[in-house]
Amino acid sequence: MIPELTADEQRFRDQVCGLLCEESVRRRVTECRRQLPEGEEPELLDVYRQLGERGWLAVNWPERYGGRDGTYLQKAIVTEELIRHRVPDLANTLTIDIVGFGVLLAGTEAQKQRVLPRLASGETTAAVLFSEPGTGSDLSALQTRAEPDGDGWRLYGRKSYCMKSHISDIGLCAARTTASDVKYHGITLFLVPLQSLSVTVEPTWNLLNERFGEVTLDGVRLTADDVLGSVDDGWNTLNQVLSLERITIDFVAKARLLFDRLAGHAAKTGRLEEPEYAQRILELEARVRAAELLTWRCVRDFDNGTPDDVRSAIAKYYSTELLKELGSEAMEVVGLDAVLHGRDEQAVQEGLFESLYREGPGWTLGSGTSEIMLYLIAGSGLELL
Amino acid sequence: MERLAEFFDEELTPMVRRMAYRPQRVTAATADNQAIRAMVWQALVGPDTMPADGTRLAQQELIAVAEQLGAVLCQGPLLDTLVAAELLQASARSALLPRGASVALAVREDGAANPAEPANMVVDRSEEVVDARRSFVGFAADVDHLLLVGRTPAGVRLALTPRDHPTVSLHRHEDLGRGELYRVRFSGTPVTAWLGDGKHWADLLATARIRQAGYLVGMSQAALDLAVTYAKSRRQFGQPIGRFQWVAFRLSALTATIEAARTLTRDAARDADRGVDPRFVAAQCLATAAKVAREVTTYALQVHGASGLREDNDAQLYFRRAAIEALWWGSPTQLRVEATPLLRARLTDADS
């Protein structure tokens, strides 16, 4: 939880909480946890539309684009409340915090009017098309190319691990427009219509709760209207987008959720009275609170117009490594019952521990790996590299 | 042991890893798992694990088998069957378990329980039938017998029961490993034979824990090998990622921790073979191996990046299984709680 909210911020949190506590929302969320057959993932939930109608989904965006002229802190409150109420939140993060933020940051007025209200309404989602089969952390080595075609381009290549791409209308895609000796030059960001016949999305199953999309771009036609920012100069925009992506409120909110449920379980079952468990739970409590403080500090930095990449990297590294460890600790404290999926009638906490244990390895990979975070801290923070 | 190593060759190993992996969506990799399971079972119940003349195998030999099973993620009733075989050999009743017959152990009522403290069971006054509920019984649907371990007013007792009997009902768990774990209900189930008491169970659990540690060491080594192979081939920033020191050194450090767990486990097996009380070293080697397995399988996924998370990548299978196998005969915390008075006793013995 954020320390020291203003009265307005607290009122906003209460309003969001009120919506998420409504019976229809609770029922649908419970279905997602307990009744969704294996092999299905939550699609675009009605609650997104309900948040969108109120202007809360992208509350930090200007009203003319579907927001409420709010702060990023308010947006962080929405994300935290979604997670606290166990609403699947990935589509929200990808759509609003990454792709939407990119458009807000670098889009033309026409692009903003065309794209942002649709995203803010909760009627559609957007996906990120950065990684490729051979390109992960070293993103500047990407192979997807945009070939000139009259007054525009045709896009060719393969993008990997693009979550929610199978239900999204828009993909934010990084592609090479110019071959260059300077590898950060010549990359352009495009807004790609994913429903185009020249785009194929193959969802692939994985350890996580939601699928990867393998996206094949086979000559999809794009014009200047689809370029986000300047041609050949996408690297800077991309880095700004990635900077915000590293303020991982979603991860830290999951750490809080997991810890609270774990400590509650330990108290209820008597584990908390056993010193060997109490010691580790207390240590985790301090670390979860520290992760929250580190992350919310970055939220305030962002709202004050003073984002700090090193502080973000510290928060992201610390929070996600902790979150992964929490999954393992939950197994230790709860025992084998923690390995049961929410569909199993014997599952504890509706399978929360099983679910977050599986999600753990993705957290230290997505939004910049732990190794990249350490590289940023070592290089920009400590000036060692 | 060499025979097993040859059996689990490069062609069979990927199928073995998935032979008891049952996502609801049946894929080509899982469609024929029953046939593979049957074939592997036939190969396993040979002289390496169950000598025809009924001689008792050394624990050192059995942990070598367990390491191989862990390396290929081979699941099945073998490790439980070995526990039953050990018990029957001790009481000279091996005839109850002809070669090829399989057993699953039914010990816990819920997943929080320490298997050193079995759940209750109710024995009919005639001593002929039992009632009990158990969870996390591995391969209950496949086996011929269940070995029910339960607490009664007369102390812990071990009952061999049939599995395929109308009084035994099974319900498959939905678990992280998507494996063959069952909830089992015994409702007036006939007892084939009463096989032992609490002392027997403590002894059996100690050697079962050493074998489990061997299994986890094998798993850890195989997961590390996958990560090392990937680190040599995956290129980022112009070179294989294994050339980056933070990757190379972490993999090297994990190599050291696996070796440490392996030596502890082998030393515990040697103690058991020498007739030294193995309870303390068994708990300690299993706690160590369990923590190593969690750490290695987690880091193997970090090295693989997003590709390791894909359903078709075996690195994620090791991660799934490690969570379960690390808790199977008690969590590291439970094991250390159990080991504390044993350490105190050892210190007292040393002083005197």
Query: Average pLDDT of B102-117?
Result: 96
Q: Which of A74-78, A300-304, B54-58, B275-279 is least confident? A: B54-58
pLDDT digits (tens, 9 = 90+) for B273-324: 999 999 999 999 999 999 999 999 999 999 999 999 999 999 999 999 999 9
CA-based nearest residue in chain B for residue A365:
B305
Contact A159, A72 (CB under 8 A): no
Q: Which of A126-135, A325-334, B8-17, B229-238 is least confident? A: B8-17
Cβ separation B309–A39 shorter than 8 A: no
pTM over 0.80: yes
Question: Pick from A287, A300, A299, A302: which is nearest to A256 by CA?
Answer: A287
pLDDT at B7: 86
> Shortest CB distance from B306 goes to which of A344, A365, A371?
A365
Is A270 an interface residue toward B (CB < 8 Å)?
no
pLDDT at B28: 53
Query: Average pLDDT of B58-65?
Result: 93
Cβ separation A37–B308 shorter than 8 A: no
CA-based nearest residue in chain B for residue A370:
B302
**pLDDT at B27 > cutoff 70:** no
Is A335 an interface residue toward B (CB < 8 Å)?
yes
Single-letter amino acid code for the residue at A256: R
Cα A146 to Cα A129, A173, A244, distances in angstroms: 14, 11, 26
pLDDT digits (tens, 9 = 90+) for B289-299: 999 999 999 99
pLDDT at B244: 95
**pLDDT at B340 > cutoff 70:** yes
CA-based nearest residue in chain B for residue A324:
B298
How far apart are alpha carbons A111 and B146 in whole angstroms? Answer: 67
Candidates A210, A322, A336, A352: best to mutate against B (most CBs of B within 10 A) is A336
- For residue B54, name the pLDDT band (cuts at 50, 70, 90): low
Distance from CA of B242 to the nearest CA of A (A): 13
Chain A residues close to B177, C-beta within 8 Å:
339
Candidates B22, B114, B173: best to mutate against A (most CBs of A within 10 A) is B173
Query: Is this complex's ipTM strictly greater than 0.90?
Result: yes
Cβ separation A343–B331 shorter than 8 A: no
pLDDT digits (tens, 9 = 90+) for B149-163: 999 999 999 999 999
Is A343 an interface residue toward B (CB < 8 Å)?
yes
Residues 212-241 of B with CB under 8 A from A: 235-237
How far apart are alpha carbons A100 and B248 in whole angstroms? Answer: 38
And the tokens for A379? 């290089």
Return phi, psi of residue A156, to 5°: -130, 135
Residues 32-71 of B with CB under 8 A from A: none
How far apart are alpha carbons A5 and A212 in whole angstroms? Answer: 37
Candidates A262, A271, A284, A339: best to mutate against B (most CBs of B within 10 A) is A339
Cβ separation A341–B112 shorter than 8 A: no
pLDDT at B100: 87
- For residue B333, name the pLDDT band (cuts at 50, 70, 90): very high
Is B305 an interface residue toward A (CB < 8 Å)?
yes
Burial class (CB in 10 A: 0-12, 13-18, 19+), A374: middle
Query: Left if phi > 0, otherwise alpha if psi is -120 to 50, otherwise beta: which for B310?
Result: beta
pLDDT at B22: 76
What average pLDDT does chain A have?
Answer: 92
Is A190 an interface residue toward B (CB < 8 Å)?
no
Is A35 an interface residue toward B (CB < 8 Å)?
no
Beta bridge pairs of residue A203: A213
Single-letter amino acid code for the residue at B328: W
Is A339 an interface residue toward B (CB < 8 Å)?
yes
Buried b (16+ CB within 10 A) or exposed e, B118-128: bbebebeeeee
How many CA atoms lie within 13 Å of B184's alpha carbon, on the beta-carbon side? 38
